[in-house]
A and B are shown apart, each in its own frame.
Chain A
Amino acid sequence: MGNPVDQIFVILKHWLLSFCPEGYVPIASILLSVIPIMAVFGGLFALTTILERKGLGRIQNRYGPNRVGPCGLFQPIADGVKMLTKEDIVPRAADQVIHFLAPFALIGPVYIAYSVLPVGRNMAALDLDAGLLFFFAVGAGSELAIFMGGWSSRNKYSLLGAMRAVAQMISYEVPLILSSVPVIMLAGSLSPTAIVDAQGGHSHGLMQWHLFTPWGIAGFFLFMIAASAEANRTPFDIPEGESEIIAGYMVEYSGFKFALFFLGEYLGLFAICGLGITLFLGGWHSPFVFLEWIPSYFWFFGKLMAMIFVFIWLRGTLPRLRMDQLMGFGWKFMLPMTLLNILVAAIWHLSKTWLFPGVYLTRWALCLGILCAAYVWLGRSLAGNRSVGKRVYRFAD
């Protein structure tokens, strides 16, 4: 079993199961896997809301929440109480049943997706042979939930918002899946556990994470761009767009159902960050050999917090994309680049058998050269004859 500190949760689960009567062991085992997932990621949601508001406040030169508890730390509890006690308004014309079901249809699949993520050594709730496919299949259900929410409100704006959101999510699902194809190809498996195991070795003092290969760098960035579009985060948060085009499909939701949509969006973000960590950032492996004494789950959640920080940073920095820019970027830039990345991954893999001095650098130069040339060429040709210069302000100067 290895290091007991590393395996403390696995040992704890086995210890608790030993008290369970014989016939109930399977169901108790399921509950002992499900309840921690729901509790931990739900708690992470509360923590992230306060971190996000504080972080955005810091970026925008204001305080953020600072009234509830020390430094405003209890703000999530106050928010939760407010959401729970708020009146739940349902429009009279709304389709009552579907309006009620939509938030749950969003939350359910998102929570199910966590079951295949290995959050530590031996710590994946489900070790499926086709785990990655399971993750994407379950994620596909959330589009229907968003449509249900938008359509059942019987409001033109919410229906338009839902169409916008679904169109965006479908468009970016293609590059999301295609950018993870190279990982599946080179790890030779669809199982997240096997993919993490494939990134476990060391060479030249560096971890063999997929990030440290030319196709891995490109794949990781493409994956994270598509992931931020899937999770409706800035600069792709046009589905909600609360400051310009009202709140999209959530216009007619209030109180606890709105909170559920909000929760679903954040849980989707964590899930897709967790998948990015699993695919490219070595899962629960530590970055250096001498840091391996730190437990595996610490590394997973540390990487997760780092990625959440980057997303908060992006939200405070970047403006929104317009709808046509968003679609053009997805289909004209992301899709060709992900397809090319699959080719580059194949070149990287096949050139492994080359034998001459300096082969490692040659392979790097070749693969990175192809990707950079395509990036520059595609970017230049898509920009057209539009020149990018210093912005001129008419009134602000």
Chain B
Amino acid sequence: MTISFIIICCIVAVGAIAAMSLRNLVHCALCLTVSLAGLAALYLRLEAQFVGFAQILVYIGAVAILIVFAILLTRSNEPDESAVPRAGSWSGVAGVAVALVVFGTLVLSILSSSVGKTDLPASPGATVKDLGNQLMTHYVVPLEAIALLLTSAMIGAVLIAKPDKLRAGRVVKGGGEHASGT
């Protein structure tokens, strides 16, 4: 429990609480980003450089932007009072119950696993090179499976977003027509 650990934990916890309790959805998204950045700092503190930087690259660089875009494209900026459950309502109680069940399951599974029982190595020797070698040899099938899944998800998204030829009447073509001329 060093000072840096306490500071990082405070950042993560405060960010997460703010992300839940603020009324403005964009504020919530930004607070969530702070919390995710704190998690990245936690990884870096554990000397897991690759995981830490990948966390920043993926979550802050992509997921946070995705959340923010989703908020802006689907609803107005004004805070929606009806969406936030009031304290004491049934949905709030159910939310707390679900959170407790998930927390309990996680604690039980961690306690029963062998993670805490084995001694940690003195210095984590996993460099980026080791990680790459493992990904390309031992874990190549899961890696390819994830790649295939993501590709199919992307193709599906493109198909959904494609203009409907029947409804639109004609295919809208971008560019080309305006480029010629003066």
A residues with CB within 8 A of B: 98, 128-130, 133-134, 136-141, 143-144, 147-148, 151, 154, 159, 163, 166, 170, 173, 188-190, 322, 324-325, 328, 384, 386, 391-394
Contacts and interface: CB of A to CB of B under 8 A. Distances in A.
A129 B49 contact: yes
A151 B54 contact: no
B57 A133 contact: yes
For the complex of A and B, the 6 pairs showing the least CB-CB separation, nearest first, are: A140-B61, A137-B56, A137-B53, A137-B57, A133-B53, A324-B174
A116 to B, nearest CB: 11
B87 to A, nearest CB: 25
B128 A140 contact: no
Contacts of A325: 175, 179
Contacts of B50: 130, 133
Contacts of B57: 133, 136-137, 140
Interface in B119-137: 127-129
A143 B50 CA distance: 21
17 contacts: A98-B30, A129-B127, A129-B128, A133-B49, A133-B54, A137-B56, A137-B60, A139-B61, A143-B61, A144-B30, A144-B68, A147-B65, A166-B65, A173-B61, A189-B129, A384-B176, A386-B180
Nearest to A190: B128
Given A133-B54, A133-B128, A137-B53, A322 B182 contact: no
A134 B182 contact: no
Nearest to A395: B182
Interface of B: 26-27, 30, 33, 49-50, 53-54, 56-57, 60-62, 64-65, 68-69, 72, 77, 127-129, 174-176, 178-180, 182
A170 B129 CA distance: 27
B30 A148 contact: yes
Contact of A393 (B129, B176, B182): B182
A146 B179 CA distance: 30
B64 A144 contact: yes
Contacts of A137: 53-54, 56-57, 60-61
Contacts of B72: 151, 159, 163
A141 B175 contact: no
B175 A170 contact: no
B182 A151 contact: no
B175 A328 contact: yes
Contacts of A386: 176, 179-180
A154 B50 CA distance: 37
Contacts of B61: 137, 139-141, 143, 173
Given A137-B60, A170-B62, A324-B174, 9 more contacts: A133-B57, A133-B128, A138-B56, A140-B56, A140-B57, A140-B62, A144-B64, A163-B72, A386-B176
A144 B33 contact: yes
A34 B69 CA distance: 35
A392 B57 CA distance: 47
Nearest to A101: B30
Nearest to B24: A95
A131 to B, nearest CB: 9
B31 to A, nearest CB: 11
Nearest to A166: B65
A237 B50 CA distance: 32
Nearest to A97: B27
Contacts of B179: 325, 386
A384 B175 CA distance: 11
Contacts of B27: 98
Contacts of A170: 62, 65
B30 to A, nearest CB: 7
Contacts of A393: 182
With a 10 A CB-CB cut-off, give which of B50, B56, B77 has the most chain A CB atoms. Answer: B56
Contacts of B56: 137-138, 140-141
B175 A144 contact: no
A386 B56 CA distance: 42
Contacts of A166: 65, 69
A1 B56 CA distance: 36
A141 B33 CA distance: 10
